[in-house]
Structures are given as C-alpha cells and as structure tokens.
Structure 1
C-alpha cells in the first residue's frame, strides 16, 4: 500500500523574483546597456516633469521628498495665481505692486532654481553615466543640461525680473502723498513733461496736462493746458494767498507770468520750502505743488497727484517699447530752431519728419513732440497728446513683459511721481480698463474756443465739467 507522502509529488522550492525585475529604477541590471539607457531617460524625464520623483524612486528619498514638496508647492502657487488673475485681480495687483511681496516671490524663485540644480546633478549621479554607451552618455548629459538651463535658468531669470520690478517700484513710487478718495468720481493727475537738467532749478514744463480717470469705468479725459496761458488762478493755498487775482501783477517775478513759469517763480525766485513745507515729505517739491494748485484752480477740480516725465530721457522709454506708431500730417523739422527771425527751416533743420504713418524711434518721437517753429504751440500740444495716446497703446502686457528690463530701467530714469505705493494696485487695475476705452481730449487753445492770452476761466471750467459729467440724455417722449 502506497502512503500519501510516498505518492505526493515533491514541491519545488519557492524563488522570489529578482529585485532587479521588481524595482528596475532603484536596482537596475547594470550589466545591460539597453536597460541602463532606458532607465537613464526615465530618470531625466521624471526630474523634468515632477522634480524629486527620480530621487524618491531611485535614490535619496529625503532629497526626493524635499523636491516633491517644493514642486507641489510651486504648482499650487501657480494654480492659485492663475485663478486669482481670473477671479481676484485685485489680489494679483496687490502682490505685483508691493515691494515686500515681490521680495518674497524673488526669494522663492531663487530657492527653487537652486533646488532644481541640485536635483538635476543628483539625477545624473543616479543615472550612472559610466554604465551607458558613449553615445547615450553624451545624449543623456546634454539633454539633462539643456533642460536644466531652460527650467532652472528660467526661474533664475524670473527672479531677476521680479527684482527689477521691485527696484523700479521703490525708485519711482516712494512714500508718496496720502491715499485719497476720488473727487466727484474722478482721480485727477497732473502730467508734466519737462527738460529737467541737473538740479532742475530753472525747469519750465514743456508740456502741461491733466489726466482725469473715472474711478469706476476707467474712462480717461486729458486736458491740455497751454504753457503760455497767463493770469491763471490758484486753488486754495499759499499761491492763492500771494496771487488772489491770478498769476500776474506786481507780485509776479517772472518775465511773462505764464503757466510754465510758475515752477521757476516758486523754486528759484521765492522760498519754495516756506510756501510748501510738506512737499518733500510726500515725494514732491514746491514748484510742482504750485503748478498743481494752478492747474486745479484753472480747471476747477481737485488734483491730488502728479507725474513728471523727463523729456531728456523720453527717447529711452520709446526705444524700450520698440518704437511708437504715429501718423504724421505735415512735414516737420528736427532741430533747435532758427538763429534769427525768418531764417528758413532748411538752413537750421538737422533732419525732417516726413508725412505718413511710421513707427518712430525715441529720438524722432521726441522731435515730433517738440517741433513748433514751422507750426504753432497749439499744433504741438495736439501732437503731444497723440504721442501720449500712442504710448498708452504700446503698453500692452505682452510688449512690457518681453521688454521688461529696458522699460523698467527707462522708467526709473525719467519718471517722478507722488502717487502712493498703497494705491498702485487700484491704479494698475484701473489702467487695464482705461486701455480698452477711447480717450477724450480737451485742448485749451483758440481752436477749442480758449484764448491763452485772455482766457475765460468760467468757460474753461464749464468745458471740463461737461466732459467729465456730460448731461444725461432725456428719453424722447
């Protein structure tokens, strides 16, 4: 009789599958060049797609976990930024216009760029390049290095851009004036264009205008003020006390008592600091505050802020934007003007701006804004307004981002303002609305019914009020 133990078939001994087959990324078959090559590409790809994953699966898990946490954190921040850009734009503007927030963003980008370098170098260590064939060794190393330059270099460059933005904001926007609510639904900003040499003691604004921005819609109205307008009244303040009947009379110390001489009156011929003791603390200066009061008194509106553009650096900004497109209506000379009355422009012009649509570089645009000897001051004001609107159109997000470093550097050199940093997010969001709407212009010139030598101030203020607060049309019966 046969026993069960005798008739049972003997069991084969259990053999676990090789570790190489179970975990080929962590325990590769180093004897197979093909397996090592496939593993190398997997590791390089994982390092790009999910930095840290290569280390978790094939190397130091502590470093890998650090990389994964950093990667997931970065993805989360990018996703939140994208959602905020669509839903909470005010939050995005608050961050991108706040120097301290930008400093944090810059630090995060620098750390992430450095971490990516560490992870890429460690990935190449895990690849075991010596086990690859020469061709694969070169290809893997080249691919990993190129990807490192793209991604880590991109993060490093982004940190540089953020740093430039932070420096620019700090340079242009200091403490600034106080944050104020809109006046009658508008923020009114004095815009000055001036040849501001060293010290600017004798600066005379070459271009004077007021930009009124609707606080709700962003609709902008630009009022051009002739620099030669006389007898301008002042709003309440020290200059109104000195000139209660307008700028002129025995108290006036300048040659013509014109609008563009007020700066010299205050900064050079009087004790400006005594007249406007708080000007410096708000990022302004006495002469500018006096011009601001004159524009406010002339137009009958409150003007809390100013922006001064240095015309000597104006060309730099135009070039930084890649030029500006203008349609020239008549031939204009470039140059400082005639040496004697009646001298033909052909004798003194250093060049000519020809009629037609053209993309002007900075130097040409500057002459376009200044030229007046063959036309008139009123024509020049019109051209300056055209140029302002054309530059505004050039400030698209794509254009500014692609030329950011140049635009930021130019801005630091040519712009001064007392706009407070605390209001930058609001004005940045408002500017997006402004770009989408047509700009209304008011020129206080003879063509607009205003004689700068004998101005009717009540009529001027009526023009401004009608433009800013047009009557509501009554429905037809």
Structure 2
C-alpha cells in the first residue's frame, strides 16, 4: 500500500519595494523616487506614511489637512464674509502669528524634503536618473519651503509697514450712510518753503452700495469755509478769505506754522485744518485723510519699475532739453510714454500754458495707471522697494483696526463708475468765470445734493431691476397690450396728415468738422524743438493751443 504524499505550498509575501527597495530593479527604484517626490510635493507627510516613519507622516498629514481646511475656509469667507476676512488679515497680532506659522511650515516642509531624500536612497538610483531627481528635489524645495519662507518675510514686512502708516485709534462710523475721506497730493516743490497739497480730492463712498463721488478742489480755490466745530472759525469767521494769500493749498503750511496749537490732539494739524476746510466747503463730515508725498510718489513709481500712460496733448515741463543744451523748458509729446518717477511727477505737476483742470486730469490718470499696473507680479518681485517707498509716501489718520473693512469697501467701489465734480471750470463755468476765486457755496452744495440724489436714484433702479420673474412677466404683458393698442389706434399723424414737426424743406444739420491737427507754419507736424523755440520767442498762442488737450490722458499697457 502506497502512502499518499502531502504537498505543502510555501507562501512567501511579495517583496515590498516601496519600503525596502534594495532588491528592486533600477526601474522600480526610479518609479519609487518619483512617487515619493510627488507625495511630498502634493501631500506632505504622504511619503513618510508610505515608506518611512509613520508617526512623522501622520503628524505631517494632520498639519496638511489643517492647512487645506484653513485655506478652504478663507476662500469661502472671501466670497461670503470678505470684510471680516480682510479685517482679520490686517490685524497686527494676527499678521505676526501668520508670519510665525508660515516660517514654521517652511521649516517643517524642509524637514520632510530632507527625509524624502533619505527615503529615496539617492545612491541606489540609476546614474542617468540621479541628476533628474536631484534637480526636481531642489526646485520643489525652493517652491514649497522657499515660497513659504518668503511669504513669512512679506507678511512681517507688511505688518511693520502698515504699523508705520496707519494709526492705532478706534474704528470710525459712517455719517449719513457715507464715508468721506480727504486725499491730498503734497509737494514741497522747487523753490518752495514748506509742504503744500497741490492735489486735493474728497472721496465720498456710500457705506451700503459702495457708490462713489469724487470732488476735486483746485489748489487755488479761495474763501474756503470751515466746518462748524473747526477752531479756525475763530481766526477766519468768514472763511479763508484774505485774497490770493489764502488759496486753499496755503492753508496747510499756515496752520503748521501759526495755528498748530488749535489742534493739540492732531498728529498733523495742517491735515486737520484741510479736512475742516473740505468739510465746510462741501457741507460734509470728513472721516479721515490720506496724504501722498509727491517725493515718495516718485520713489514708489521707480520701485514699481515705471508707469505707462497715453497722453492726448503736449505737456510742458522742466527737464533736459533734447538738443543737449542743458536743463530748461521742454515738452512731453502726445502718445504713449513709460515714465520713471521723476518724469511721472513732472507730467502730473505741469500747469504752464494749460488749466488746473487739465492738471487734475493728468494727476488722476497717473493714479489710475499706477493702480492698473500694480499687479501681484510687481508686488512680489519688487516688494522690498515698494514697502520702503510706501512708508515715505503715505501719511494718514485712518485706523489700522478698520483697514480690512475699508479695503473691502474700496474693492466694491471699483465695480462702479464714480460721479465727479470739480469746484471750478468746467463744472462751474469756464476758466474765465473765475469760480475758484469767487465761489458760490450755495451752488456747490446744490450740486452736491444733486449728485447724492442721482446716487439714490441709481440705487432705486438697481432695486427695481431685482424684481421677481412674475412681476417682470406681468409688466411685459402690460407693455405688449399697450403696444397692440397703439398699433390699432396710432396717436401720431398718418401719411395723409401734416406733421408740423417734419418738413421736407428743413435743412440738414451739418456734422461739425474734426479739429485740424496743429502744425508748424510750413505745414509740418509740431516738434519738441519747434515748441522750445516758440517759447523762447514768446509765442504763447501756439503753446497754449498745443497744451490745451494735455488733460486727455489714459493708462496704457
């Protein structure tokens, strides 16, 4: 009898290439290196959980999930509670905490990359694959740990810069549903004693709708009124009305030199006096001011790498003459220009042979161009220079605690076209009417009320536009019935009737001809050299004509 033989199958676990690549092929080791690199890049801690210390990997994964959760929450808040999010992100303590957290994440990710390099076992890779994975690891480390470290630096620098610009006072409340801010472009200027605000604007923003009105006050505006509670009413009971010595941009320096004691609690008495003058002139409450130093303005443009605008006219300025004869009067030609800081300042300052209104338009054009060209790429690549220029550029009494909500309001305001009013020509007569010299404050306040009423009417229209579909269908049916009734019984004259408003003998209205392009007497185009020579000869007529359109300016790319 034959004894049956029993076979025992020996089961051997398949070799784990991921955890122990020693007996793997070079191809498998290369694939493993790519997988571990991608895991550390997209799921920090994944490489350690798969092939290394599971304890380290789980901790890193928990941090990664927490970061993704915070980013997702921030994204949701950006679309639903943007004001709250921005307010939190601009608080000094939270900015400091954020910079510390980013620095810690940068260090943590660097540790994971070093450990990933250990797990890859670089020396076991194929010779031709070593430089590929080496370059990939270096680039990924720079992108992740380096990016987080740079983000921590930017956030800390921003915290210090904002603390140097904004005040630490309490939040401000809107007045009659509006925030009103005085924006001044101040300039010591060539041959001046003391600082003077040559560019004066009031930005009035509706708290709920973010509709904006911009009031421009010419620098030579006289007889400015003061707010009812202004201490300057004791000095000038009838307004700032001492003639040419009391144009509004002199008020800043005069207050700084002679009446600073009237504003004992103000960090800048001159700016406080300018707010009182704007408030009394427009009959509006001022909530704060922002003063831009034109010298810092020039530094900021240089820090941004220049600014590009398209000018519609000839702009005179003081600079190097094209013939190499030295410093003197010269001109920017019409067309596209990329200005450095000094050139942009000269372009915005110019007032010779043109009007203050043209000057205001050019200043606004430069400001708009800076905003349009202030891209994230510019900020990241030139951050240090921009922050340094910003601290020398801006002075304000606005509280940092409210910076986030004001930034949110400003972002919403950009979605609307602002209404504008200049307290002088052309909104109040022509330049020859001298409205800025002899202002009529009843007219000014009536126009202010008119702009506010226009804004309310626009809000009502927006509300009407949000009516229900059923209401819209009912109105459409009503209009359809009205149109049908009109077709059955025409209200106007028929072809057999005489229409007194239409006559075959009525002459056609001629379209006015386009203004002819300015030329030299021989018909050739104007040149910088010709205008310089004309100025030397005292031929002001052609200079004024050439400069008459230099307020036509727009940002360009």
TM-score normalised per structure 2: 0.74
Note the C-alpha offset of 1:289: 0.6
Residues 402 and 217 (structure 1), Cα distance of their counterparts in 2 relative to 1, 3 Å cut: farther
1:277 corresponding residue in structure 2: 264
1:267 aligns with 2:256: yes
Q: Contact 1:202/1:268 (CA < 8 Å) preserved in 2?
A: no
1:145–1:400: structure 2 CA closer, same or farther, 3 Å change rule? closer
Residue 184 in 1 paired to residue 176 in 2? yes
- Aligned: 1:119 with 2:109: no
Aligned equivalents of 1:392 and 1:44: distance in 2?
40
Choose the corresponding residue for 2:400, options 418, 421, 425: 421
Aligned to 1:462: 446
For 1:379 and 1:45, the matched residues in 2 are separated by: 58
The corresponding residue for 1:452 is 436
Deviation at 1:296, TM superposition (A): 0.7
Cα deviation, residue 299, structure 1: 1.0
Q: Does 1:376 align with 2:368?
A: no
Match of 2:315 in 1: 332
Corresponding residue number in structure 1 for 2:291: 308
Residues 393 and 435, structure 1, Cα contact 8 Å, conserved in 2? no
Is the CA contact 2:180–2:287 (under 8 Å) kept in the aligned structure 1? yes
The farther-off stretch of 445-454 and 114-123 is: 445-454
Please name the residue that 2:26 is paired with.
33
Q: CA deviation at 1:410?
A: 2.7
Cα distance change, pair 100–52 in 1 and its aligned pair in 2 (3 A): same
Give the Cα–Cα distance (whole angstroms) in 1 for the partners of residues 279 and 136 of structure 2: 63
Q: Which residue of 1 aligns with 2:83?
A: 90
Distance 2:372 2:253 in 1: 33
Q: Does 1:172 align with 2:165?
A: yes
Mapping of 1:136-175 within 5 angstroms? 136-175=129-168
- How much has 1:246 moved relative to structure 2? 1.0
Aligned length: 447
Q: Corresponding residue for 1:15?
A: 10
Q: How does 1:318-467 map onto structure 2 within 5 Å?
A: 318-335=301-318, 349=328, 351-395=330-374, 400=379, 404-449=383-428, 451-467=435-451
How do 1:242-257 residues align onto structure 2 when only pairs under 5 Å count? 242-248=235-241, 256-257=245-246
CA–CA separation in structure 2 for the residues paired with 1:393 and 1:93: 21
TM-score (normalised: structure 1): 0.85
1:63 to 53, 56, 80: 56
Deviation sequence 1:154-200 (CA, Å, 0-9, x none): 21222222223222221211214x42322222211111111259xx9
Per the alignment, residue 74 of structure 2 pairs with 81
CA apart distance, 1:320: 4.1
Q: Distance in 2 between matches of 1:423 and 1:32?
A: 62
Contact 2:87 2:402 in 1 (8 A): no
Q: Residue 99 and residue 223 in structure 1: after superposition, are their counterparts in 2 closer, same or farther (change >3 A)?
A: same
Q: 1:43 to 1:395 in 2, by over 3 A?
A: closer
Native 8 Å contact 1:194 1:207 kept in 2: yes
Aligned in 2, Cα 1:51/1:446: closer, same or farther, shift over 3 Å?
closer
Structure 1 window deviating more from structure 2 (316-325 vs 442-451): it is 316-325
Match of 1:194 in 2: 186
- C-alpha contact (below 8 Å) 1:392/1:435 kept by paired residues: no
Alpha-carbon separation, structure 2, partners of 1:213 and 1:361: 32
Q: Which runs of 5+ in 2 are unaligned?
A: 429-433, 462-557
Name the counterpart of 1:342. none
Asked if the contact 1:30/1:131 (under 8 Å) is kept, the reply is: no
SS in 2 for 1:46: helix
1:131, 1:357 → 2: CA distance? Answer: 60
**How far apart are the structure 2 equivalents of 1:335 and 1:50?**
59
- Residues 285-310 of structure 1, C-alpha deviation per residue, up to 9 Å, x if partnerless? 11111111011111111112000000
Structure 2: distance between partners of 1:226 and 1:333: 20
* 1: CA distance, partners of 2:78 / 2:15: 45
State the secondary structure of the residue aligned to 1:202: coil
Cα-to-partner distance string for 1:22-79 (whole Å, 9 max, x where unaligned): 5322223346434333332322222222221222222222222222122222222222
Give the C-alpha shift of residue 325 in structure 1.
4.4
Once the two structures are TM-superposed, the CA of residue 402 in structure 1 deviates from its matched residue by 6.3
Q: Secondary structure at the match of 1:62?
A: helix
Gaps of 5+ in 1: 338-345
The root-mean-square deviation of aligned C-alpha atoms, in Å, is: 2.9
Q: How far does residue 472 in structure 1 lie from its aligned partner after superposition?
A: 4.4
SS of equivalent to 2:246: coil
